[in-house]
């Protein structure tokens, strides 16, 4: 049993203790390449996805729509060349009830991100924004750092890491 941070209602370490023998693929762990931004340290919820490449049109549309406690997983292909989320989109995500965002790509406006009441993980900071060309896909299965994540999966992020499950996990 691992002590959870006082504010987190769950522990990814505890989930891993319980599910480390899972060979079904139902329980997955993302590689430890994400940095934590955003004003909420731990977050969880059902997954919605965006798949895009250096174009955040669909990310903007998603965070400007009701989040209903979900986590937006953005497959940006790991690109370090453009920021897919900045202060405005993080604030919109918080305002519209998204629990958090996991971005396989970069973000910008670090001070504004950290002031937003939303969880956020991303590969790093990059001040250059995208060009919005209207491209990208919504709610398709994506691969994040080689791990499949599907709309309707459950995602849990805390200070130790990020896990994904086809079923909600009991804290």
Binding site for ligand OAA (CB under 6 A): 56, 83, 85-89, 108-109, 129-130
- DSSP3 helix / strand / coil % (the chain, rounded to 5): 20, 35, 50
Give whichever of 4 and 94 is closer to ligand OAA, judged by the CB atom: 94
Provide DSSP, 39-68.
S-S-EEEEEEEEE-SS--HHHHHHHTS--T
- When CB distances to ligand OAA are compared, the closest residue is 86
CB 50 to ligand OAA: min, Å: 13
Give whichever of 28 and 51 is closer to ligand OAA, judged by the CB atom: 51
Is residue 53 within 8 Å of residue 79, measured between CB atoms?
yes
Could you tell me which residues come within 8 angstroms of residue 166 by beta carbon, excluding any fewer than 6 positions away? 26, 150, 153, 154
CB 56 to ligand OAA: min, Å: 5
CB 85 to ligand OAA: min, Å: 6
CB 155 to ligand OAA: min, Å: 21
Calculate Rg over the CA atoms of the chain: 15
User: Among residues 163, 168, 39, which one has the least CA distance to residue 110?
Assistant: 39
Give whichever of 11 and 58 is closer to ligand OAA, judged by the CB atom: 58
Give whichever of 4 and 100 is closer to ligand OAA, judged by the CB atom: 100
CB 33 to ligand OAA: min, Å: 21
Q: What are phi and psi of 137, to 5 degrees?
A: -125, 150
Give whichever of 73 and 85 is closer to ligand OAA, judged by the CB atom: 85
């Amino acid at each position: 049993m691992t002590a959870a941070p006082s504010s987190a209602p769950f522990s990814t370490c505890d989930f891993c203790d319980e599910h480390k023998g899972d060979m079904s693929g139902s329980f997955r762990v993302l590689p430890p390449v994400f940095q934590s931004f955003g004003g909420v340290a731990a977050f969880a919820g059902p997954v919605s996805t965006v798949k895009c490449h250096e174009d955040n049109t669909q990310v903007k549309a998603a965070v400007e729509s009701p989040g209903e406690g979900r986590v937006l997983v953005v497959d940006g292909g790991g690109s370090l060349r453009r920021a897919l989320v900045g202060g405005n989109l993080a604030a919109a995500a918080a305002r519209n009830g998204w629990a958090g965002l996991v971005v396989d790509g970069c973000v910008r406006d670090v001070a504004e991100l950290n002031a937003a009441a939303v969880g956020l993980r991303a590969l790093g900071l990059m001040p250059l924004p995208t060009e919005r060309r209207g491209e990208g896909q919504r709610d398709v299965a994506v691969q994040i750092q080689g791990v499949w994540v599907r709309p309707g999966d459950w995602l849990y992020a805390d200070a130790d890491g990020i896990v994904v499950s086809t079923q909600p996990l009991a804290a």
